[in-house]
Structure 1
């Protein structure tokens, strides 16, 4: 099976090429990505605990799901695809904010992403793909913020960055 490719982009999110995902992360090259935040009617965020078999950040808590768009795939279509693949459900998503971040990891890989935050609403329990996610929970945003301060090591590096960016945006 051919390794999935990511879309390399410039600072304006214009596509400049394609590259195998692992190579892009090894070289720390800027590529397009998305992060899904799903809320319930109590405005609690659905968090995912990454599967313990993941090649980086295994067992850490993160946003509902995240991944990379495929060539020719819209942000919304990509978000819906991965939400179904990881969490086993579909819901309408809205493309909200986007920004660039960079997060190096101890294993030598670097996330350097032009990230699009997609937001949706869902009231039921997900049907987890256990190869992707080990567990899930709902948390109020204030509780996530406090727990990230008290227990930063249980969260993925990118979630700490994107949560802070999203939280700042909704506070304005």
Structure 2
């Protein structure tokens, strides 16, 4: 269970910690740079290479009801990125992951509806084949999509999805390590 009083780690451009701030108050018109992560979760046993997408809950402060990658979140103070990915995936999606792999560093800044996202946000990949049980305060809906179809969809209709997710999809598509991981999936 997540704590009601969550904090984010404020950082400089080199990802060095410079402070902490309450998560509920940090996102504003001028959000300070802070740590986050993005997870792209794939089924590990299908040759169709399906990616789990989530529609952000209606009450989310940032990008409500927008479709995005599998899970996003923030490491707590003194928490590693990997631990945060595993913790948030369990909370948001009801999924217990044992391992995730960092694929790439990423840094972005986007604004929508007078709220800015300003994050150092490494991109992680994980694999899972069980049931997904979304937390209704975090996730409106989920769906699986073939990776190739997802790449085409974000290229044709980028405005339908979270902007960080669209950019991260392009980064993953060009990443050698990621493509080797997908190529090794059993069929």
What is the TM-score when the length of structure 2 is the normalising length?
0.83
Matches within 5 A, 1:32-111: 32-41=35-44, 42=46, 43-91=49-97, 92-105=99-112, 107-111=113-117
Q: Which range is displaced more, 27-36 or 81-90? A: 27-36
Higher strand share: 1
- Residue of structure 1 in register with 2:171 after alignment: 165
Runs in 1 of length 4+ with deviation above 3 angstroms? none
Structure 2 residue runs of 5 or longer lacking an equivalent are: 181-187
> Could you list the per-position Cα deviations for residues 75-115 of structure 1 after superposition, in whole angstroms to 9, with x for gaps in the alignment?
1110111101100011121222112111111x211111111
Note the C-alpha offset of 1:150. Answer: 3.0
Aligned residues: 171
Partner-residue secondary structure (3-state), 1:80 = helix
Instruction: Report the Cα distance in structure 2 between the residues aligned to 1:45 and 1:10, rounded to whole angstroms.
Output: 32
> Could you list the per-position Cα deviations for residues 118-166 of structure 1 after superposition, in whole angstroms to 9, with x for gaps in the alignment?
2111012201111111211111222112112333333112211222222
Instruction: Report the Cα distance in structure 2 between the residues aligned to 1:97 and 1:164, rounded to whole angstroms.
Output: 12
Instruction: Report the Cα distance in structure 1 between the residues aligned to 2:132 and 2:82, rounded to whole angstroms.
Output: 19
Aligned residues: CA RMSD? 2.0
